[in-house]
Amino acid sequence: MMLVVMLALVLLLAGSGVLYAGRFWNLPKLPQRHAYGDLLIDKFSTKNQVKPVFFSHWSHRAKYTCRVCHWELDFDFKVGGTGMTEVDNRNGLYCGKCHDGKVAFGHTEENCQRCHTGVKASSIQKFNELRDGLPKDRFGNGINWAASIRSEGIKPLYSIYKPEEEPLDFRKKLELKAEWAFVPSAYFSHAVHVQWLDCGSCHPDIFNIKKKTTEHFSMQYILEEKFCGICHLRVAFPMDNCQRCHPGIKD
């Protein structure tokens, strides 16, 4: 009986041209804008009786592309997935590549508490100062990061090893047809993503590079932090923004 009711509701919404993800999917509760993308790194800290490390995505994203950390510095996309130690940092790896006392504050004892806070501690004032000067968005942390690059509101470094290197000029746009007939297609823009990422960020580990060969690519898996959900639940604009990917949805 419940299945019949659900199908009737789906057909009603489809017939009216209205579809809202929150009615069907258990979307995660989002933090406040200034805290969106904040995380605590605690692979080894607590085990060694040290407070976990606080990391703010928005404060770093304004200066560096995602590619710098998740490609050149080899940070795993999953928090806690990187076997980073203090020794590594002091030897110039991971955070230590920039936090060397020259580019950014160094890994010295007087600076320990600046990262090892044990809590998520983004500054609302500094966030608002950044957001005030950039294109706005209704979702995530309220900043349209792609538009911010286009308007040159920010100029994040694409490579720390080759500062002159620029993103690949690849503009192919993919249509991703939904499994449900009444759900309009999603569209993926390579041009937007290559501004932030490297081809190897997605291919072949997350998405098969051959068209239409990635299995189990559905909304449920995305909400389990797979595929697009690796970024579009914690850092990039969240799943609440249905029309950004499915422009044909009317709501």
CATH 3.90.10.10 placement within the chain: 2-29+167-245, 31-158
State pLDDT tens for residues 6-39: 554 444 444 434 444 555 778 889 999 999 999 9
**pTM, 2 dp:** 0.86
Helices (H), the chain: 2-16, 57-61, 66-67, 86-90, 112-115, 124-132, 145-150, 190-193, 199-202, 219-223, 242-245
Q: If pLDDT is split at 50, 70 and 90, which confidence band does 1 have?
A: low
State pLDDT tens for residues 52-101: 999 999 999 999 999 999 999 999 999 999 999 999 999 999 999 999 99
Summarize the confidence of residues 159-186 as an average pLDDT: 92
- Report the C-alpha gap between 30 and 38 in whole angstroms: 11
CATH class for the domain made up of 2-29+167-245: alpha beta
Mean pLDDT of the chain: 90
CATH among 3.40.50.10190, 3.90.10.10, 3.10.20.90, 3.40.50.300 for 31-158: 3.90.10.10
Q: What is the pLDDT of residue 251?
A: 62
State pLDDT tens for residues 125-154: 999 999 999 999 999 999 999 999 999 999
